[in-house]
């Protein structure tokens, strides 16, 4: 028997679909596009703060300093560059804007220097629920150095880690932007999300770039019933209750 989509049924289906879509699209990452800063561009947690994110101390050969994780404004990574506590530098270009535009974070990926993750603690999770992590990323190299490099990201969510891999990048070049997606299962109500740039070789500073970080819940299938069948079933049940009430009122 087919179910007619009366105005009430249609309204119920729209309500259910809207609620499901809203739950699926809520980004649990704070400031995932790095637009909110205290002082514009620069070294994270040294001469600027990126809201929601914390920069670790690096463990390079010069001692413990803030890891070389920088925020660049759009169009500045290969032009005006950024200042840090011991240097001013920029990347070989042309560096194109990320798909979301605006600020990006670029991190030193050579393991002999100030490499350490930047991170935030994500709350509002449900243990046992799957979440989709996605972001845009690219590869670059510090201007003034020559030689092929490799770079990429190790991303940790709670106790689980995923990697973009570390493809090879030709000397004096920029990779363009790639999109990364990974599903993680939460094990607690709040977990640390961290990004660690990795690559090489030493002495030819490779950089990994990132923007548009998003973490959204994966919507489960309702009670193991296919969604196209489940929604009309729910609607028909509500219609039945509504009709029963009308018949009682008529009597």
> Is residue 54 scored above 70 in pLDDT?
yes
> Is residue 48 scored above 50 in pLDDT?
yes
Residue 70: count other Cβ atoms within 10 Å of its Cβ.
29
Q: Please report which confidence band the pLDDT of residue 234 belongs to, taking 50, 70 and 90 as the band edges.
A: low
Q: What is the mean pLDDT of residues 61-65?
A: 60
> Is residue 69 scored above 50 in pLDDT?
yes
Which residue is it, tokens 């509500």? 238
| Sequence-distant (≥ 6) Cβ neighbours of residue 38 within 8 angstroms | 48, 49, 51
Using a pLDDT cut of 70, give the percent of the chain over it.
75
> Is residue 16 scored above 90 in pLDDT?
no
> Is residue 231 scored above 70 in pLDDT?
no
pLDDT tens track for 111-168: 666 789 999 999 999 999 999 999 999 999 999 999 999 999 999 999 999 999 999 9
> Is residue 66 scored above 90 in pLDDT?
no
80, 131 Cβ separation under 8 angstroms: no
Q: What is the mean pLDDT of residues 90-104?
A: 96
Q: Please report which confidence band the pLDDT of residue 55 belongs to, taking 50, 70 and 90 as the band edges.
A: very high
Rounded CA gap, 242 and 251, in Å?
15
> Is residue 7 scored above 80 in pLDDT?
no
Q: What is the pLDDT of residue 203?
A: 80
> Is residue 246 scored above 60 in pLDDT?
no
Rounded CA gap, 79 and 50, in Å?
21
Work out the mean pLDDT of the chain and round it to a whole number: 84
- The pTM of this model reads 0.79
Domain chopping of the chain, boundaries: 7-20+222-250, 31-217
> Is residue 25 scored above 90 in pLDDT?
no
> Is residue 4 scored above 60 in pLDDT?
no
Phi-psi region of 230 (alpha: psi -120 to 50; beta: other; left: phi over 0): alpha
Rounded CA gap, 210 and 69, in Å?
11
Q: How far is CA 62 from CA 43, 57, 86, 113, 183, in A?
A: 17, 12, 11, 8, 37
Q: Please report which confidence band the pLDDT of residue 230 belongs to, taking 50, 70 and 90 as the band edges.
A: low
Which residue is it, tokens 């243990």? 127
Q: What is the pLDDT of residue 223?
A: 41
Q: How far is CA 65 from CA 59, 68, 69, 106, 114, in A?
A: 7, 9, 11, 17, 7
Domain 31-217 in this protein, CATH class: mainly beta
Rounded CA gap, 245 and 249, in Å?
6
> Is residue 192 scored above 70 in pLDDT?
yes
Q: Please report which confidence band the pLDDT of residue 243 belongs to, taking 50, 70 and 90 as the band edges.
A: low
Rounded CA gap, 141 and 204, in Å?
8
């Amino acid at each position: 028997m087919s179910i007619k989509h009366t105005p009430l049924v249609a309204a119920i289906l729209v309500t259910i679909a809207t609620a499901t879509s809203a739950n699926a699209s809520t980004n649990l990452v704070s400031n995932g596009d790095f637009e909110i800063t205290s002082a514009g561009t620069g070294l994270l947690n040294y001469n600027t703060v990126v809201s929601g994110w914390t920069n670790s101390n690096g463990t390079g050969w010069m001692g413990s300093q803030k890891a070389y994780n920088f925020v660049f404004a759009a169009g500045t990574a290969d032009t005006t560059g950024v200042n840090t506590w011991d240097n001013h530098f920029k990347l070989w270009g042309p560096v194109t804007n990320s798909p979301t535009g605006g600020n990006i974070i670029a991190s030193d990926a050579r393991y002999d220097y100030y490499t350490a993750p930047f991170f935030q603690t994500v709350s509002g999770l449900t243990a046992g629920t799957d979440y989709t992590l996605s972001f845009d990323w690219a590869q670059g190299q510090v201007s003034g150095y020559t030689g092929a490099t490799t770079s990429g990201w190790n991303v940790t969510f709670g106790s689980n880690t995923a990697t973009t891999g570390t493809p090879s990048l030709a000397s004096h070049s920029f990779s363009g932007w790639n999109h990364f997606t990974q599903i993680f299962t939460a094990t607690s109500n709040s977990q640390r999300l961290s990004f660690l740039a990795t690559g090489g070789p030493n002495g030819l500073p490779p950089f990994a770039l990132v923007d548009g970080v998003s973490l959204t819940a994966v919507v489960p299938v309702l009670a193991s019933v296919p969604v196209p069948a489940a929604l009309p079933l729910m609607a028909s049940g509500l219609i039945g209750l509504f009709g029963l009430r009308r018949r009682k009122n008529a009597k």
